[in-house]
Amino acid sequence: MPIGKAIGIRQGKRMAQKKSQHVPFHRAFVGKEEIKAVTEAIESGWITMGPKTVEFEEKFRTYVGAKYALAVNSCTAALHLALEAIGIKEGDEVLVPAITFTATAEVVCYFKAKPVLVDVEPDTLNIDASKIEDGITSRTKAIIVVDYAGQPVDYDRIKRIAKKHKLSLIEDAAHTLPSWYKGKKVGTLADITCFSFYATKTLATGEGGMITTENPKWAERMKIMRLHGMNRDAWKRYAKGGHWYYEIVGAGYKYNTTDMNAALGLVQLKKLEMMWKKRQAIAEMYHKNFTTLPEIICPVIRPDRVTSWHLYVIKLALEKLSIDRAQFIEELAQQGISTSVHFIPLYRHPFYQEKFGFKAKDYPHSEWAYERMISLPIFPGMTKDQVAQVIDAVKNVIKRNRHV
Ligand SMILES: *Cc1c(COP(=O)(O)O)cnc(C)c1O
């Protein structure tokens, strides 16, 4: 289906044909097929975790080429289970990038452990591998990396550092589906990989997540802790052939998903690469138009990586403009373009400042990028007209506010 024909559920034809309408930041690419799948899951009479979840895990596992896949109700839950499985304890330290969503670091705090922020590379906004060792102490137990906007971090280099210091490597792959590092699909690059199926992500089920790992011991622990610390497939206890007996082996969590959610996920997984190609086409149009503008710094993708294009993040060359980023966003909004900022660096939030004393001056690249970054709309149902409208609006704002 060409981009111009793509539609969401509700937007109908109006938006596809008419210019200068509001362009949303995101719209989930769900339709009749998803509705049918969820309806079937409901009609099956088994609406919580069950056979659909098992099927989703199996298909996902096969798609990324991992040994184990566990469906959960969010990426945050996945990260929490991952840290529990590797044995994070009070007083431990875990390295995380300074620019990420709070979920990456909040899960460290659940254990009364300390997130240690590492500055990012100014061009990719991924964790700067050359700065990781500066943050390692005798208390460091793990590194959580984030593949920012969908571009994998430098796994070869970071894995070498993790091995040298005996640290676990956890991947927050909330943006990274599908993405490739040196030809290898994300899902087996780190010790444990955590995906998000939140409404705005590249595979969306409303809420949801998946954990993949090659380690049977961790997989077993996460599977048990996902559902109350029950030591067997306790979700089967009400099914035919299920058994009533189980034992509790830990103070587990309620992080399982549902078959309605898994049914949605199965359809989305089938559409994944088609949706990715649509985002890719949008990114190419943006790139073609923005790369010649001295006021815009386009995303940089390293030659050995392939991005999912979850986000398209431009940076403003502020010295060439008479306005700041906030005003730029405001003027785009006045032209009907919704944008976002990914992310407000963790050290700028009151909780992290007060609890850990983080200071902006320690993360110069993050600070530089934060003042300049804007996430433009990029979603599979976006029409050519909508993309053109965003490009025109960006050019207009520049024209009006160019330093002369
Ligand atoms: C969205 C996101 C998460 C959280 O995902 P949920 O599924 O909503 O828990 C974690 N990390 C990053 C980088 C994200 O963008």
Between 1 and 233, where is the model more confident? 233
Q: How far is the CA of 237 from the centre of ligand 1 (A)?
A: 31
Atom of ligand 1 nearest to the CA of 342: 15
Which CATH number does 32-268 carry?
A: 3.40.640.10
The DSSP symbol for 134 reads G
- Catalytic machinery residues: 201
Name the burial class of residue 33, with classes exposed (0-12), middle (13-18) and buried (19+) by CB atoms within 10 angstroms of its CB.
middle
Q: How confident is the model at residue 143 (pLDDT cuts 50, 70, 90)?
A: very high
Q: How confident is the model at residue 21 (pLDDT cuts 50, 70, 90)?
A: confident
| pLDDT at 14 exceeding the cut of 80 | no
How far apart, in whole angstroms, are the C-alpha atoms of residue 12 and residue 74? 30
DSSP state of 207: S
- Integer Cα distance of 128 and 37 in angstroms: 42
- DSSP 3-state assignment of 214? coil
Give Cα separations from 186 to 155, 263, 273 (angstroms): 10, 23, 14
Residue from 96, 100, 101 to probe ligand 1 pocket by mutation (most atoms less than 8 Å from CB): 101
Q: Which amino acid is present at 329?
A: I
Common-topology check for domains 3-24+272-401 and 32-268: no
Strand 296-297, strand 168-172: pairing: unpaired
Q: How far is the CA of 401 from the centre of ligand 1 (A)?
A: 34
User: Does 17 have pLDDT greater than 50?
Assistant: no
pLDDT for 5 equals: 42
185: pLDDT strictly greater than 50 = yes
**Residue boundaries of the structural domains of the chain:** 3-24+272-401, 32-268
Residue with tokens 């954990």: 211
Nearest CA to ligand 1 atom 13: 101
Using the structure block, give the residue that is written with the tokens 């659909």.
52
Where is pLDDT greater, at 10 or 206?
206
Q: Which of 308, 340, 342 shows the shortest CA–CA distance to 173?
A: 308
The answer, yes or no, to whether residue 19 has pLDDT greater than 90, is: no
pLDDT for residue 44 is more than 90: yes
Atom of ligand 1 nearest to the CA of 207: 7
Render pLDDT for 57-78 as a digit per residue (tens, 0 to 9). Answer: 999 999 999 999 999 999 999 9
Question: What pLDDT does residue 285 have?
Answer: 98
Give yes or no for residue 10 having a pLDDT over 80. no
pLDDT at position 1 over 90 = no
> What Å distances lie between residue 212 and 8, 63, 190, 315, CA to CA?
30, 11, 9, 33
Q: What is the pLDDT at residue 342? A: 98
> Which candidate, 160, 116, 108, 105, places its Cα nearest to that of 138?
116
pLDDT tens digits, 375-388: 999 999 999 999 99
The Cα 176–Cα 190 span in angstroms is 13
CATH class of 3-24+272-401: alpha beta
Question: Distance between CA atoms of 86 and 401, rounded to whole angstroms?
Answer: 51
In whole numbers, what is the pLDDT of the chain averaged over residues? 94
Asked whether residue 7 carries a pLDDT value surpassing 80, the answer given is no
pLDDT given for residue 236 in this prediction: 77
* Segment 8-35 mean pLDDT: 73
Smallest Cα–Cα separation from 377: which of 309, 306, 275?
309
pLDDT band at 231 (very low <50, low <70, confident <90, very high): confident
Atom of ligand 1 nearest to the CA of 201: 1
What's the CA gap between 145 and 127, in Å, rounded? 7
Residue ranges lining ligand 1, Cβ < 6 Å: 74-76, 100-101, 103-104, 146, 172, 174-175, 196, 198, 209
pTM of this structure: 0.94
Per-residue confidence band for 11, with pLDDT thresholds at 50, 70 and 90 = very low
What does the pLDDT look like over 349-364, one tens digit per residue? Answer: 999 999 999 999 999 9
> 72: closest CA among 271, 266, 253?
253
